[in-house]
Chain A
Amino acid sequence: MEAIVFAVVAVTVIGIICAVLLAFASNVMAVKEDERFPAIRECLPGANCGACGYAGCDGYARALLTGDVKTNLCVPGADGAAQKLSALMGVACEDVQEQVAFMQCSGDCNATSSKMDYHGIESCTAAKLLFGGAGKCSFGCLGFGDCVKTCPYGALSIQNGIAHVNTRLCVGCGLCTTVCPNHLLVTLPDVVKVHVGCSNTEKGAVTRKACTSGCIACRKCEKECPVGAIKVENNLARIDYDICTGCGHCAEVCVAGCISAGDFSGASHVVKAG
C-alpha cells in the first residue's frame, strides 16, 4: 500500500512540477500574436475549406498578416469578406470571382438504371470500389450522397437518384469536388450560363445504352454554337468558357438533353442582391 501511495505521489509531483514550469514558461515567454489576427480571422467564414490555397481559415489569416497575399482569395466569403479584409489590411479591394459547384451527371432514375443490386456500405466511395459502382454508367453519380454529407451549407441534395446542386445556397468552397469518387462535381465561376451534365467518355452507342441523358458525342452542339465555344473531345462535349457567350443555344439543340442553361449565380450573389 505504501509503495503505491509513494509511486502516485512521486508521479503527481513530477507532473505538477512540469505543469507549473510549462504554465510559467508560456506566460513569461508568450509571443504576442499580431493584434490584427483575431479581427482578420473574424472576417473569414470558418469553413476551413482550403479554397484559398492555405491550410484552413487560420492559415489564410496568418498568410495575410505576412503581406504579399491577396485579400480576394476567400471564395465562400465572397465580396463581403474581401471588402472587410481589404479595409483591415489597408489595401485596395479586388473583386472575388464567386464560384459555384456544377454537377456533371444528369443520369437520374428516369435516364439510367442499375446493373446490379448493391447492398453494401451506403457510401459512394465504397460503392465505387465494387466494379465501378452499381449504375450502368461507371462515370455517373453513385447516388449515396457523400457530397451531401460534406456540404456545410446544405446546397446539395439527392433527387431522383443523383446529386443536385442548389446554386442559390452554394458558396463554391469546393469541398464536394474532393469527395466525389467519380469527380463529377466541379467548381466554375458562377457567371457561367451553360454547362455539360455528363462525364461519360465512352463512344456514343455505348453511352446511349447505359443512360439516355448521356452525351453521345453527336457534335450537334459543336456545329450549332455561333461562337465555336464547344468542342467534342474524347466523346464528350466540352465548353470553353473563355469564348462562350452564354446564349444557351447548345442546350436547346442537344439531342440527349445533357447540356443545361440557366442562371447559376451562387449564394454570395443572391445575398448581395437581397
Chain B
Amino acid sequence: MDNLMHFDFRGLVVIMMSAILVNNYVLQKFLGICSFLGVSKKLDQATGMSFAVIFVMLLATAVTWPIQYYLLNPNGLEYMQTVVFILVIAALVQLLEIIMKKYVPALHAALGVYLPLITTNCAVLGVAILNINNQYDFLASMVNSFGSGLGYFLAMVLFSGVRSRMEGGETPKSFEGLPITLIAASIVSISFFGFAGVINNLFA
C-alpha cells in the first residue's frame, strides 16, 4: 500500500496531457516541422508517419535515459549529450529498419519511407533531451515520450484534415503551395495556444 502511494499516477497524467495539448511538439515547440509539412498531405501517410514517430520516440527515450544517467552523468560528460544522443538514435532507427524489413515486411512497407526521415527528426531528439532537462524519472520520461508522440499524431491528423479542405478551396495564385500551408499551420498553432491554461486549472 505504501508503495502505491509513491506511485504518482496523477503526476503522470499531467505530464501526458500537457505533452499532448499544452507542450505539443509541432504546434507549440515548433519541432519536427519538416515532416509536419512534408507528410501531412494525406491522412493515411500522416498516421503512418505519426505511428513511426511514437514508436521511435519511445525507443529513443528508453535508450537515451539510461545512457544519460548511467554513463554521461557519473563521468561528467553531460556536454556530450547531443552528440551521443544523435549517434544512438540514428543507429537505433537504422537497426529498427533492418529488423522490421526482416520480420514485419508489411509494417516496413507501410512505414519504410518515413523511418529514415525520423532519423534526423528534431522532435525525437527534442523529446530525449527535454526528458533529461525536466529531470523526469524513467517512467515519467516514457510517459512524456508517448504523450509527445500522441501530440505529434494529433497535430498531423488535424493538419491533414485542414490541408484536404484547402485542396478544394480556391487559393490566390501567389499563395498556392507552401505559403498557404504555412499560414494554415500558423493558425492551427495559434488555436493550440488556447490550451495554455488547461492543465493548471484541470489538475489544480
Contact = CB atoms under 8 A, between A and B. Distances in A.
Contacts of A3: 76
Interface string B104-131: 0100000000000000000000000000
Given A11-B83, A14-B84, A25-B98, 12 more contacts: A6-B75, A6-B77, A10-B84, A11-B80, A11-B84, A15-B87, A18-B87, A18-B91, A22-B94, A22-B95, A26-B98, A29-B103
B84 A29 contact: no
A21 interface: yes
The contact size tier of chain A is 10 to 19
A21 B75 CA distance: 24
A30 B102 CA distance: 7
Interface in A1-21: 3, 6-7, 10-11, 14-15, 18-19, 21
Interface residues of B, number: 19
Given A7-B77, A18-B91, A31 B84 contact: no
Q: Would you call the interface of chain B mostly helix, strand, loop, or mixed?
A: helix
A25 B80 contact: no
Q: Would you call the interface of chain A mostly helix, strand, loop, or mixed?
A: helix
B88 interface: yes
**Most-contacted residue by chain A among B71, B95, B98, B99 (CB, 10 A):** B98
B45 to A, nearest CB: 16
A11 B83 CA distance: 8
Nearest to B91: A18
A11 B87 contact: yes
22 contacts: A3-B76, A7-B77, A7-B80, A10-B75, A10-B77, A10-B80, A10-B84, A11-B84, A11-B87, A14-B67, A14-B84, A14-B87, A18-B87, A18-B88, A21-B91, A22-B91, A22-B95, A25-B95, A26-B98, A29-B99, A29-B102, A29-B103
Interface of B: 67, 71, 75-77, 80, 83-84, 87-88, 91, 94-95, 98-99, 101-103, 105
Contacts of B99: 25, 29
Contacts of A21: 91, 95
Interface of A: 3, 6-7, 10-11, 14-15, 18-19, 21-22, 25-26, 29-31
Contacts of A30: 102
Contact of A14 (B88, B101, B103): B88
A26 B77 CA distance: 31
Nearest to B108: A31
A3 B78 CA distance: 12
Contacts of A14: 67, 84, 87-88
Contacts of B94: 22
A31 B100 CA distance: 10
Closest 9 CB pairs of A and B: A18-B91, A29-B102, A25-B98, A31-B101, A26-B98, A29-B98, A25-B95, A7-B80, A7-B77
A31 B76 CA distance: 42
Contacts of B87: 11, 14-15, 18
A31 B102 contact: yes
A18 B98 CA distance: 13
B55 to A, nearest CB: 17
Contacts of A6: 75, 77
A197 B98 CA distance: 53
Nearest to A8: B80
Contacts of A11: 80, 83-84, 87
**Most-contacted residue by chain B among A18, A19, A30 (CB, 10 A):** A18
A22 B90 CA distance: 11
A30 B14 CA distance: 43
A21 to B, nearest CB: 6
A3 to B, nearest CB: 7
